[in-house]
Structures are given as C-alpha cells and as structure tokens.
Amino acid sequence: METTMRFKLGRVQAQCAVVAAALLAFAASAGAVNPAVTKVKNRFMITNKVALQWNKFKSEGGPTYAGSPAGVRFANFLISTSQELGLVDLDYVDIPYLRYVVNDWPNPNAHTYGTGSEIEKLVSDGVPVPVVASYGMTSGFTPAGGITAPMIYYDPANPPTADQIKGKILVAKTVPYPEPVPNSNGPYAYSRSVLSSYAETDYIYRSQGKWANQFEPIPANVSSSQWGRWVWSQLSGFATTAIKGGAAGMVVVYDLSPGMALGLTQRACMRPAAAVRTPCMRTSRL
C-alpha cells in the first residue's frame, strides 16, 4: 500500500507577554489559620453563566497560541477582568520565540481534501482521506510533492521492529483505558498514574452535584479533558518508535471527535531535534 502525505506550514516570530502576579498569604498570626480561607464563600464565586461567557469569549477567537492575535486578545481579557476583580501589582515580561503558523482557523476546508485550500493531504493507494483532523505541530515540513511510502501498522501487542519501520509511514491507533485489576495498587484497581490524571480521587472541597465515581477513570462519553489527555499521552511512545525506526512519516488515529482531534494540534508531535525528519498527521474516529 503506497501512501502520500503532504502539508505546509509557515514560520514567524511572535512575542509572548507573561503576566506574573504576587499571591497574598493570609494568616492572623504565626501558626494560626485565618478562618476566611477555610470555607468557600459563594459571594466570591462566579456563576455558571459567567463561566460559560468567559469560555465562549475565548473560543470565538480560535486557538490561543502564545503571542497570536487570539492569544493576545484573551490575555488582555484576563488582565482587565482580573483588575476589575481587584488584582494589583502586575509585572510584564516579553519573551520572543519562533513559532509555526498554519492558516486553518476558522476554515474547515483547510483539512478537507479537494477544496483547494487544504493545508495537508493524505492519499492511500490513490484514494484520498476525506478529512485529516490535524497535523503534528512540531513535525516539520514535507517536500512540495509530499512523501510517498508504504504504510505499516503499529500493533501494540506485536509492535514492528525498527528494520520493518524504516522508510515507511507508521500508522498507530490509540488504545482505551487499561482494564481494572482489583487491589493492584493498594485497595485500588488502577495505577497511581491513571488515578492522578484520569480519575476523581480525594478532594478538599467540591460543590453540590452528581460527580463521577471516585478512583475510576472518567468514561470517555462524559469526559473531555481526562479522555483527551489519555489519548494524547500515547503520542510520545508512537513518536519515539517512529523516530528511532527511521519512519518516513507517521499517521496517528485518535479515538476522538474531529473537533477535539484538531484541538490537540496545540501539543507537540515529535521531539524538536528529530522533528523535521518525521512528518506527522492525525485523524479522528470519524
């Protein structure tokens, strides 16, 4: 099976403004605890409506990469809103850095084959993949004509060797949460790493409402951040395998919606030192 993958990026220099604010520690006296910090006061809490408005404002600008127009827009919103709520003594530090810019927001045609404005293409045995969810943010460029090579599937139960991978496009699919093993981690059925990142564990305080079962991974059908982190956490292993094996490129199939898979373009795909040698694309479950 011969597959061609192609995409293009542009490089610019951006400025990132970092705001540092001093946190005030409250204590009535040495060794004493101010009762004002031991309880949640509802009059200081924002409402669900306000929280939704803030998130809507952020999403309307598109991806908020540091230094990008959307990033500056949202940073200014955070600064002004924080000052309205009483934040003082702000300090600003300019940090110049290089970043790659892809003109794909908010145009969905940028990821759709045959539109004329697509920024990446994936064609397998002459059959184009209709939609490529996203690209590897730090995976470098392909030549203008793309990269054509045989594909090889990464089977977690029987992974290919480096000799088998060399010169091919590695195709990797993310896997579900691990199965529970009772009492494998003290009284828990999941490892510490799974519990700390993908489950509700202990807490100091939480508001009223229906919460997920403690010490169990939050199901994918009701989760966004936890499931997204689990899927994305597997990328590093795939990338290491592709780089060490000398793959011509890599395609990762996420068990995510197209929109969420696109959102993960904000994460690194390859180690920067080897990035330009192994271009990467991502597809969603659809």
Predicted confidence at residue 3, as pLDDT, reads: 64
Structurally, the chain folds into a number of domains equal to 2
For the ranges 4-8, 235-239, 259-263, the lowest mean pLDDT is seen at: 4-8
145 and 239 part of one domain: yes
Query: 186: alpha, beta or left, given left = phi > 0 and alpha = psi -120 to 50?
Result: left
Q: Is residue 263 part of a domain?
A: yes
Q: Is residue 228 part of a domain?
A: no
List of long-range contacts for 103-109, beta carbons under 8 Å, 24+ apart: 103/10, 105/62, 105/63, 106/62
Q: Is residue 220 part of a domain?
A: no
pTM: 0.72
Output helix, strand, coil percentages for the chain, rounded to the nearest 5: 30, 25, 45
126 and 43 part of one domain: no
Rounded to 10 deg, the angle between the 225-233 and 235-245 helix axes is 20
More confident residue, 146 or 9: 146
243 and 157 part of one domain: yes
> Does a cis peptide bond (omega within 30 degrees of 0) precede residue 106?
yes
245 and 271 part of one domain: yes
∠ CA 108-138-168, nearest 5°, is 90
242 and 170 part of one domain: yes
* Alpha-carbon gap, residue 149 to 156, rounded angstroms: 22
Helices (H) and strands (E) in the chain, counts: 7, 10
SS3 98: strand
Considering only the C-alpha atoms of the chain, give the largest distance between any 2 of them, rounded to a whole number of Å.
74
255 and 159 part of one domain: yes
160 and 27 part of one domain: no
Q: Tell me: the pLDDT tens digits for 248-285? A: 999 999 998 887 887 776 554 444 444 445 778 878 76
The pLDDT confidence band at residue 5, using thresholds 50, 70 and 90, is low
∠ CA 220-225-228, nearest 5°, is 65
39 and 140 part of one domain: no
More confident residue, 37 or 182: 182
* Alpha-carbon gap, residue 179 to 183, rounded angstroms: 13
What's 7's DSSP letter? E
36 and 163 part of one domain: no
* Percent of the chain whose predicted confidence (pLDDT) is above 70: 81
Examine the pLDDT at 143 and tell me if it is beyond 80: yes
Q: Is residue 229 part of a domain?
A: no
Q: Which of 2-16, 58-72, 129-143 has the highest mean pLDDT?
A: 58-72
Q: Is residue 42 part of a domain?
A: yes
Contact 175, 156 (CB under 8 A): yes
Q: Tell me: the pLDDT tens digits for 167-186? A: 999 999 999 999 999 999 99
Of the residues 88, 110, 142, the one at which a domain ends? 88
Q: Is residue 191 part of a domain?
A: no
SS3 35: helix
49 and 162 part of one domain: no
Predicted confidence at residue 272, as pLDDT, reads: 46
The residue segments making up the domain with residue 133 are: 2-12+101-175+234-283
Contact 245, 215 (CB under 8 A): no
Of the residues 37, 65, 88, the one at which a domain ends? 88
241 and 166 part of one domain: yes
Task: Report the chain's mean pLDDT, rounded to a whole number.
Answer: 81
170 and 33 part of one domain: no
More confident residue, 102 or 237: 237
Examine the pLDDT at 228 and tell me if it is beyond 80: yes
More confident residue, 37 or 172: 172
Q: Is residue 201 part of a domain?
A: no
